[in-house]
Amino acid sequence: MAGQGVQLIPSPEEIMQILKRTGAFREGHFVYPNGKHTAHYFQMPLAFRYYDTARVLAVALSRKFRVERDVASQLPKVSIISPSSGGIPVAFGVRDALSAEQIFWAEQESGKRMFRQYINQGEINPCIIVDDIIRSGHAIEETVELVKSLGAPIIGCGAIVRFTSAPDNVDGVPIKSLVEFDEHFFDTAADCVECKAGAPEERVRF
């Protein structure tokens, strides 16, 4: 680990080592609820169950925002927003590292993404949206729409891991990540390399 005064960001390889060590990243043969097959599985809360690991990941992500002039100039009057429960530990960690003033998280209610808290127009600071992992980008995009509907500008967006198949920006704001992962999904068992190899499959959820 770098010393407190050294603003180093761990390399993607170092981040992947952390994810492997904590079980947040596994290799094998996995089948998702949508029927897709893949050789990798991310379950990010397993990395965030350890305080020290959660802190390393969140501080690293926060450094990618702090160097942005648009963010640095507006701190501490910034909101950190999580699109879902998985992003909440990331949001708290990034908020802490940046000393940002506000934190909000969205939830799915009746299929619609919304804030549970009572938020009125103008009460929300310029926003940084953070999540643990961006697979398709849908959660981030829905959260962008939600934040825009509240009249708040989005000044940053990021995740610990972003699949390279996901968007690399939202509304012109680049998505920052500690790892860019080139995930490959097989649409059917017939296409799947692991199935062809006869590897036992494990059914997983997102």
> Quick one: which of 37, 135, 162, 176 contacts Zn ion (CB under 5 A)?
37
Between vectors from CA 181 to CA 83 and to CA 191, what angle results, nearest 5°? 105
Token pair 């997983």: residue: 204
Interaction of residue 38 with Zn ion, rule CB under 5 A: no
Question: Which of the residues 172 through 201 are near Zn ion (CB under 5 A)?
Answer: 192, 194-195
Question: Which of the residues 85 through 114 are near Zn ion (CB under 5 A)?
Answer: none
The type of residue at 22 is T
Tell me whether residue 16 or residue 195 sits nearer to Zn ion (CB atom).
195
For the bound state, the minimum distance from the C-beta of residue 193 to Zn ion, rounded and expressed in Å, comes to 8
Q: Which two tokens stand for residue 122?
A: 């103008």
For the bound state, the minimum distance from the C-beta of residue 25 to Zn ion, rounded and expressed in Å, comes to 18
Report d(CA 22, CA 16) in Å as an integer.
10
# chain residues binding Zn ion, by CB under 5 A: 4
For helices 51-66 and 88-98, what crossing angle results, to 10°?
60
Peptide bond into 76 cis (omega under 30): yes
Token pair 């002039």: residue: 69
For the bound state, the minimum distance from the C-beta of residue 30 to Zn ion, rounded and expressed in Å, comes to 8
Tell me whether residue 69 or residue 203 sits nearer to Zn ion (CB atom).
203
For the bound state, the minimum distance from the C-beta of residue 49 to Zn ion, rounded and expressed in Å, comes to 28
Kindly list the residues in this chain that would bind Zn ion in the complex (CB under 5 A). Answer: 37, 192, 194-195
